[in-house]
Structure 1
Amino acid sequence: MIHLITGGQRCGKSEYAEQLALEQSTNPVYLATSRIWDDGHRARIEAHKARRGEQWESIEEEKELSSLDFEGRLVLLDCITLWLTNIFFDNGEQDEKSLEEAKAELDKSLSQDCDWIIVSNEVGLGGHPGNEVAMRFNDLQGRINQYIAKKADRVTLIISGLPLEIKNTQA
């Protein structure tokens, strides 16, 4: 099962995803993808960690998600946007190369016999970026979100902390 949870920045995606994961598993995996780029970001990461209880198995992996074995587990991947940022900048901001690498890595990861809850941002909801690199990344993010949504069994859009189910093939 693949459940994509998406929405704008600070809309409550992670909290909703965590709640769902705990309803479905007594020991879910929290797969964090963020790099720490400054003290403010480090504080956000620490706040996320503090919010989660010890029932979580936390794993940090910036890019190579398929290198991990999640057989039979429920995995909360938080988040695609930060993961894609790592790929994009490591590839020298090459859009197509980044998209193909991301798709290939997702295909390998999602083929594992496990359940996924995937958090991603709808970056286009936040206004028009002020520079060309940010605009290209927004386009890349939109394309990978569409790719995941097509593969997903469920897609939920979070708006102001409230879930709106967009797709459910299991209903």
Structure 2
Amino acid sequence: MIHLITGGQRSGKSKFAEKLILSKTSNPVYMATSRVWDDNHRKRIEAHKARRGSQWTNIEEEKFLSKHDVNSRVVLLDCITLWLNNFFFDNGEDDDKTIAQAKEELDKIFSQECDWIIVTNELGLGGHPGNDMAMRFNDIQGTINQYIAGKADIVSMVISGIPLEIKNTLNINH
């Protein structure tokens, strides 16, 4: 099962995802994709870990999610935007390579027998980017969001902390 949760920045996506996963399992996996940029960012990451508590299995992986065996688990992948950033900046201006690597890695993780709850940002809601690099990233983010949504069983959008279900091929309620 794949459940994609999208929305704007600070919309409540992660809180919704954490609540949802805890309704499904008492031993969830949190797969965090952010690079540590500076000391303030590191403190924020540590605060998030402390808030989640000891029942979570924490995995920090910047790019190669598939190297972690999460078969038979329920996994919260947070977030696609930060994960794509890692490929985007590592690949320079080779956007095709970034998209290909991201799709390849997603296909690998989706082949594992587990449930995925995936958080991503809906960047297209924020207006037109002010520079070429931001526009390129928005295009890549939109392409990958559509790729995941196409494979997802459930897609929810969170607006001001309120989740709205926009796709459900399983016909289950949350």
Could you tell me the TM-score, scaled by structure 1's length?
0.97
Q: Please list the CA deviations of residues 96-115 of structure 1 after superposition, one character each: whole Å capped at 9, or x if unmatched.
A: 11001100000011110000
SS of 1:121 mapped into structure 2? coil
Q: Which runs of 4+ in 1 moved over 3 A?
A: none
* Percent of pairs with identical residues: 71
Deviation for aligned residue 1:128: 2.0
The answer on 1:11 being equivalent to 2:14 is no
CA distance in 2, matches of 1:93, 1:125: 24
Q: Counterpart in 1 of 2:64? A: 64
CA distance in 2, matches of 1:93, 1:75: 31
Q: Counterpart in 2 of 1:122? A: 122
SS of 2:75 mapped into structure 1? strand
Q: Counterpart in 2 of 1:132? A: 132
CA distance in 2, matches of 1:12, 1:47: 17
Contact kept in structure 2, 1:9 and 1:126, CA below 8 Å: no
Unaligned runs of 5+ in 1: none
CA pair 9-105 structure 1, distance change in 2 beyond 3 A: same
- Residue correspondences, number: 171
Could you tell me the TM-score, scaled by structure 2's length?
0.95
The answer on 1:152 being equivalent to 2:149 is no
Deviation for aligned residue 1:95: 1.1
SS of 1:96 mapped into structure 2? helix
Q: Structure 2 matches for 1:11-160, cutoff 5 A? A: 11-160=11-160
Report the more deviating stretch, 87-96 or 22-31.
87-96
Q: Structure 2 matches for 1:155-166, cutoff 5 A? A: 155-166=155-166
Deviation for aligned residue 1:41: 2.1
CA distance in 2, matches of 1:16, 1:10: 11
